[in-house]
A = this chain, B = another copy of it.
Amino acid sequence: MSAFEKLKDQWARISRLEQTIGILSWDMETYMPDDGVKARSEQLALLSELAHQWLISDEMGALLDVAEQDASGREYFSDEVSMIRVARRAYNHKVKIPKKLVARLARTTTRANSIWIKARKKSDFNLFAPILGEIVELSREMADHLGYAEHRYDALLDVYEPDLTSSQVEKLFTETKRELIPLVREITGSSALIDTGFLNQTYDTARQESFGLQVLRDMKYDFRRGRQDRSAHPFTTSFTPYDVRITTRFAEDDLLSALFSTIHEGGHALYDQGLPLDKVDTPLCQPISLGVHESQSRLWENIVGRSRVFWKHYLPILKLHFPGQLDHVDGERFYRAVNRVHPGFIRVESDELTYNLHIFIRFEIEKDLVAGAIRVADIPPLWNEKYREYLGITPPDDALGCLQDIHWAHGLIGYFPTYTIGNLLSAQLYQKALQEHPSLPAELAEGDFTGLLAWLRDNVHGHGSRYTSAELVRAITGGDVQVGPFMNYVRDKFRDIYA
């Protein structure tokens, strides 16, 4: 057996452990009885330890070395070279970080999680500041072990978005910001009225669920390879492309939240179900990055799900689900309501436009923290100042301000930018799909998503992790990640809505 074959075998074993961790985690969030949590964390710890050991084993290192030598000279994007490259990246990420640092980070983030909950409850950043300081320090150490060419932050970003650098992000974000902030000001200054009054009703959750399931079926989410359950926070989890599950939650007083979360998670799930079936358990049967994953969920949620043509088809069907409740609402009114722009304090409740402003703030702050340009104590004033500058509002307290997100408590530094990268990519991909398939809007207006899904399967999903996000965009468009398509899309859409 060649080193490459052995490498694939070993990878498959690790992959099956990771799948198992996924199943245990899904169960924990959906059906596990309350008192099962302690045993569950022991099971998860054991499996994670094993998967980590196997990945960073000397055997794995040696197999990678030999497989790379054997493959030298072969085509960069061939299956073999791509698999070795992706496996090497995973190996390097893990092997470079000392075991002690991993353990310290795990202990610190476990403590940070409960401190963050308390601090947010009391809306007191000072409670959270010391442990956040520790996490920033540990992240800097981690970055030093991982290595980087230019900025320390690049090493952290690379974990979530391979090969993307903070200079590139900064360039993209600065360009977006320059156009987006004036656009948001223009809109909030507009006299156009968006009527969302009809949303203030009680919407039966069983009917919400039934409508959402119909949309998922129309999107061709494959229920033979997936299912939807309920959980406290919606998520998508994928064990293999043969088992990709989503969750949602329903509230009687909120029609839109479950609906758009179902479409959002459905977009993630279509990506995972579309990963190459003939590459299961290999390094290529993975999504590319968080940014590309988010591009899929945002494309379906926003570009499709918040489009005029989508509601042309679905509003009549939605009305059938809620007889009498939406009779007086026409398509245009519904379309405007689901696209209301409203600068608010909370990222996860924000609209398609302002969402990115929330991201810029987090990116700028965490980048400066890692660079040592600011200290943890500087966060609250800086946060509030940026909210004033970008969104025109001032958070009244830390709970509605810099304590709202759990990411930093979990040690996820370098993660936030991928959300906006996802938004940019979603528009760029859709623009290309539209060029190649001009009948897309007409199809969407009929509730027919087969053309769009086929394009995504061919151009994105089916490649697995053969490309980085930049390589994917180059393969599809011949060029780089661009701000233009996103800004053109939102400018046209929201200038139209806000006249």
Contact = CB atoms under 8 A, between A and B. Distances in A.
A171 interface: no
A43 to B, nearest CB: 5
Interface in A229-248: 229, 239-240, 242-243, 245
17 contacts: A16-B42, A16-B46, A17-B46, A20-B20, A20-B47, A23-B27, A31-B229, A32-B243, A33-B223, A33-B245, A35-B222, A36-B243, A38-B242, A39-B240, A39-B280, A40-B243, A50-B50
Given A23-B27, A46-B13, A46-B16, A225 B35 contact: yes
A269 to B, nearest CB: 11
Contacts of A33: 223-227, 242-243, 245
Given A27-B23, A42-B281, A242 B35 contact: yes
Nearest to A21: B20
Interface in A27-82: 27, 31-36, 38-40, 42-43, 46-47, 50
A190 B34 CA distance: 52
A19 B40 CA distance: 9
A42 B242 CA distance: 13
Contacts of A240: 36, 39
A19 B20 CA distance: 12
User: What number of copies of this chain does the assembly contain?
Assistant: 2
A24 interface: yes
A46 B19 CA distance: 11
B31 A43 contact: no
A236 to B, nearest CB: 14
A222 B34 CA distance: 11
A36 B225 contact: yes
Measured as residues with beta carbon below 8 angstroms from the partner, the interface class of chain A is: 35 or more
A36 B20 CA distance: 12
B35 A16 contact: no
A192 to B, nearest CB: 45
Interface of A is mostly: helix
Contacts of A31: 31, 227, 229
A401 B248 CA distance: 48
Contacts of A225: 33-36
A226 B35 CA distance: 8
Given A33-B242, A33-B245, 4 more contacts: A16-B39, A17-B46, A23-B24, A32-B243
Contacts of A39: 16, 19, 239-240, 242-243, 280
Nearest to A229: B31
A43 B27 contact: no
Given A13-B46, A27-B27, A281-B42, A224 B34 contact: yes
